Copies of this chain bind each other. A is one copy, B any other.
């Protein structure tokens, strides 16, 4: 049983296509989502159909797999079952948890309403709606300072998502919509990127950060590093920069400052006594299994794996993909009766990184790309 149809879960399912196993892939949505490009949906560069692939279509040719669109609400490791939000519990011999992450407001959950994150199609569509609606409002109102607030867009967090999002917002306002309005010039719109650290893309080498900052500057994004958000309200954001505190009137804030493990991690931790880190991620063994549960594997953003170099691997697609491949191989061997102790999982960094601009984005989708009405037609949420 595989919980989650993201990059990790997909690889496990594919890696078992010729194995003598019956696979159930369960996800709250019946589609795989290319999450790294959600920012493109949020800024209208791509439609949801272009970054989603229905799980049923992906696995139509794999008869040993069935898709269940449902939410896993509980896990019983003793009886080896999972409970769904409705319907019968499902039995498993091997369980793979690949349920991903959700937005993390670090205790300030009231900010969520004023600063949506970028984890789901709904998130992206809500941001798109707010951005377009802000421009429409600026066309309608006369007060110059009010209009300026509607034309100020703030992205919080200078990781890959925040950097891409700020760049795409600038392209949208300063280029795409240049001639669309009569009451103001969209090129006067301000796009700010606030990052607490001294540079953007802190997980990458310093020259890359500098590169990204220059690209953003050329696009007209104001990049503020060392800027710490203190408060987010419907019509302004408060942040400190150096010794000073700033109150910036804005109607549109996007949250890209952090994630935490999906809620299922807490359920599983309780049932198995597995340890978790401060982001709620399950701390896994060198073979990606849970301590004392060699038949339960945890991969991707919901897992904390630090056996390689002491720090946890980042929550990016290549990590999940390689972990999925590793677990598929482990299960193939275990079901074939191979009891050799496994060599630990090792991540190979192939240098994927953030890109800025729509063209590179489209190139990223690669062979998962499904086009047209037929693909999106079958996408829905089941909970």
A contact set with B: CB distance below 8 Å? 30, 44-47, 49-50, 56-57, 60, 66-70, 84, 86-88, 128-129, 132-133, 136-137, 139-142, 176-177, 179-183, 373-374, 376-382
Contacts and interface: CB of A to CB of B under 8 A. Distances in A.
Contact of A69 (B66, B140, B373, B374): B140
A86 B141 contact: yes
Most chain B beta carbons < 10 A, residue from A30, A176, A380, A382: A380
Contacts of A70: 140
Nearest to A47: B373
Interface centre among A47, A129, A183 (most CB of B within 10 A): A47
A99 to B, nearest CB: 18
B177 A139 contact: no
Contacts of A377: 44-45, 176
Given A44-B373, A66-B182, A373-B44, A87 B140 contact: yes
Contacts of A177: 378
B136 A382 contact: yes
Given A47-B373, A66-B182, A132-B380, 4 more contacts: A44-B377, A69-B133, A69-B140, A70-B140
B378 A180 contact: yes
A266 B376 CA distance: 40
Nearest to A26: B140
Contacts of A380: 128-129, 132-133, 136
Contacts of A179: 60
B68 A373 contact: no
Nearest to A56: B180
B140 A30 contact: no
A378 B176 CA distance: 10
A382 B87 contact: no
Given A69-B140, A140-B86, A133 B381 contact: yes
A39 B374 CA distance: 15
Q: Which of A45, A49, A139 has the most CB of B within 10 A?
A: A139
Given A56-B180, A382-B133, A382-B136, A376 B86 contact: no
A24 to B, nearest CB: 10
B44 A139 contact: no
A69 B136 contact: yes
B44 A142 contact: no
Contacts of A66: 139, 182-183
Nearest to A70: B140
Contacts of A50: 373
B60 A180 contact: yes
A49 B50 CA distance: 13
Nearest to A377: B44
Contacts of A142: 87-88
13 contacts: A30-B132, A44-B374, A45-B373, A47-B373, A60-B179, A66-B139, A69-B133, A88-B142, A129-B380, A133-B382, A136-B380, A137-B382, A176-B377
